[in-house]
Structure 1
């Protein structure tokens, strides 16, 4: 099992010194990856279930944050959990992701995409909220088409995007496509992960029965699409205070990666939590 750390930009903002110190310590501790979240805009009354977002929460652009982190680190992989894919044009996004991967020498490898749950956010960027699932499916196809295309260019005619003979360089570092994981807490997200994703990263608000059902649905959907279910990665949220028994229980459910959140509001407390976790699980480089 691999372990990653989440840097909560809504609570820490765009403080460059704090972000760099956090990322470097995570790397020194042996964490596989650093994740950041995304919201493009908020507004008064923006709410998911019972949780209302304060409009002043700072959500710096996740890809800009990861490019900044890459410049200050050497090894740690870069992840987004989750990037709101329907709100990004895939032609522009393909270039941005490939550029970060090239400049980081192959570390932009844990992109997780989702649909978004705030109707006002979709409206703000001119996207029909009801069609965002189909838009995301097509966007994944466009990303991979552009990454894999050569000098002759590639063409696409779809419901939302259309172009002829486009070339997109630079390419990702040493590969023809970047992994795209699918996030979300719905059965539709599980099916999307199986049909198109390289992994599944469900949300935290699911009971054990539904969680198991969704993972099985992702694997079944992969098989039905002629893909290898065993190749799917399975990422879950976990507690930074988790024990070895907790990790074994997750592994028994098929989990291949756990992303944890520090609980301390202060940087030194977060560093202490990361160090204790790394020691408990033997992550510290020898």
Structure 2
């Protein structure tokens, strides 16, 4: 099992020293990866499920934040949880992601993309909320096409994006995986058809999660892909027990992402250290 840790700026704050300390503590404790979420804009009445997001919640740009974190760490992998893919132009996004990967020496390895749940956020960036799923599918294809293209250029003709002869360097340092997040059957199918992994969210029952994981695996088979190559990431609490981790592993989970809950820095470090001790994180091989 791999273990990541998330940093949510609405909860943990936007102070740069705090972000640096959090990431360095996580790296020292042996966590595999560091995740940052995204919202581009909020507004009054923005609802995620039954929860209203206060419009003044501070969300830093995830890729800028991960680039900042990369400069103060050496090993920890960088992830988004999730990046709202339909709200980014994939040609620009491909450049930004490759840049973070190159400057971090190949650590932009846990890009997780989702569709976004706020119609007003889609409208703010000129994206049609109803077609954002198809837009995301094309964007994934464009990202990979640009990253794998050579000096002769690549072409794409789709419903949302179209170009010919584009050349974009530098490339990421090796293949840059794309994980798919979401809490719907459609997200699970997208993960199986196009993703390198599935990171479901939402308040789902155990049966619903099992069904979605099976949808992802079946979709991979239908697309001629290896379902066993899919990574399966889930969230967990910082006080998760070894028995609970073993139960998740039996469900096929390969990575668990937690978040520190303590506000005071020394207490937060103790939380991370206790987690690391419980699962022997400092004894595991480091990467990349």
Name the TM-score class by shorter chain: over 0.9
Does the Cα contact within 8 Å between 2:79 and 2:109 map onto a contact in 1? yes
Partner of 1:193: 191
Superposed CA offset, 1:229-267 (max 9, x none): 000000000111011101100000000000001121233
Does the Cα contact within 8 Å between 1:13 and 1:60 map onto a contact in 2? no
- Secondary structure of 1:226's counterpart equals coil
Matches within 5 A, 1:14-25: 14-25=14-25
Moved over 3 A (4+): none
CA distance in 2, matches of 1:13, 1:149: 39
Does the Cα contact within 8 Å between 2:182 and 2:202 map onto a contact in 1? no
CA distance in 2, matches of 1:145, 1:266: 45
Q: CA shift at 1:13, angstroms?
A: 3.1
Matches within 5 A, 1:123-142: 123-142=123-142
What CA RMSD, in Å, does the superposition of the two structures yield over aligned residues? 0.9
Partner of 1:97: 97
Partner of 1:11: 11
CA distance in 1, matches of 2:134, 2:59: 26
CA distance in 2, matches of 1:146, 1:178: 11
Partner of 1:234: 232
| Alignment partner of 1:120 is 2:123 | no
CA distance in 2, matches of 1:218, 1:171: 28
Q: CA shift at 1:285, angstroms?
A: 4.4
Partner of 1:219: 217
CA distance in 1, matches of 2:181, 2:46: 20
Given the two structures, how large is their TM-score scaled by the length of structure 1? 0.98
CA distance in 1, matches of 2:88, 2:126: 11
Tell me how many residue pairs correspond in the alignment: 284
CA distance in 2, matches of 1:130, 1:51: 21
Partner of 2:273: 275
Does the Cα contact within 8 Å between 1:204 and 1:237 map onto a contact in 2? no
Partner of 2:182: 184
Q: Unaligned 5+ residue runs, structure 2?
A: none
CA distance in 2, matches of 1:13, 1:152: 45
